[in-house]
Amino acid sequence: GENVEQHPSTLSVQEGDSAVIKCTYSDSASNYFPWYKQELGKRPQLIIDIRSNVGEKKDQRIAVTLNKTAKHFSLHITETQPEDSAVYFCAAAWGYQKVTFGIGTKLQVIP
Amino acid sequence: DARVTQTPRDKVTEMGQEVTMRCQPILGHNTVFWYRQTMKQGLELLAYFRNRAPLDDSGMPKDRFSAEMPDATLATLKIQPSEPRDSAVYFCASGGTSGTYNEQFFGPGTRLTVL
């Protein structure tokens, strides 16, 4: 089955700096890579996703990159703000099959 | 704004008691997932259904856990008997297969505490 590794487990950045979270996956058949944000006590919410036929995708201050050869994908948050503080999960799936999540990264943005 | 709903939001029970958690997926979604979240293990997939049929329940302890979809608007997760190690937040998520891959929408979760 698919295995997703995520690092770092915790990340502290100063407000305004960039944050990068990295994930690797094991199943070369995976073709869908979503990222979820979970605020304390709340439900995980999809913030951005990328398909395997795309190398990069941006949405305002967040961007995801995918390297299929290396089986790596990353989340980049620029100009971080205190409201970006949360736990971020990467995930991988093939088609409509089950999604496998990483362990999560706790991001703290220091004002 | 369609959302997944879950009940109860919080449940405190004693070891050995039966616990039933309910989930109402977003209308029209044909895939339902049950996850358990703990600090130690993160988000673990327990089971998932498509068109009400169980596709994978390999993540679920079979001796005490059971998951069903009596109809398209209700999914249930039952623990009998409950144990303290079952204490966690249980999330239900639903998704569609109409060209959106596996985009999942999570419910608010049920926080279970087994004493």
User: Residue A84: helix, strand or coil by DSSP?
Assistant: helix
Write down the pLDDT at residue B1. Answer: 66
Write down the pLDDT at residue A19. Answer: 98
What is the C-alpha to C-alpha distance for residues B32 and B75, in angstroms, rounded to an integer?
Answer: 8
Which stretches of chain B score pLDDT less than 50? Answer: none
Write down the pLDDT at residue B101. Answer: 63
Q: Write the residue in A42, A99, A104 that is nearest to B104 by C-beta.
A: A99
Q: What is each CA distance from A98 to A33, A55, B17, B34, in whole angstroms?
A: 12, 22, 30, 11
Q: Name the minimum distance, in Å, from the CA of A108 to any CA of chain B.
A: 17
Write down the pLDDT at residue A14. Answer: 97
Asked if the model's pLDDT at residue A15 lies above 80, the reply is yes
Answer whether A98 sits within 8 Å of B102, measured CB to CB.
Answer: yes
Beta-strand pair A105-110/A86-92:
antiparallel
pLDDT digits (tens, 9 = 90+) for A65-83: 999 999 999 999 999 999 9
pLDDT class for A99, splitting at 50, 70, 90? confident
Write down the pLDDT at residue A24. Answer: 97
Nearest CA in chain A to B91: A43
What is the C-alpha to C-alpha distance for residues A93 and A34, in angstroms, rounded to an integer?
Answer: 9
Residue B91, H or E segment: strand B88-95
Write down the pLDDT at residue B20. Answer: 98
Write down the pLDDT at residue B42. Answer: 85
Asked if the model's pLDDT at residue A96 lies above 90, the reply is no
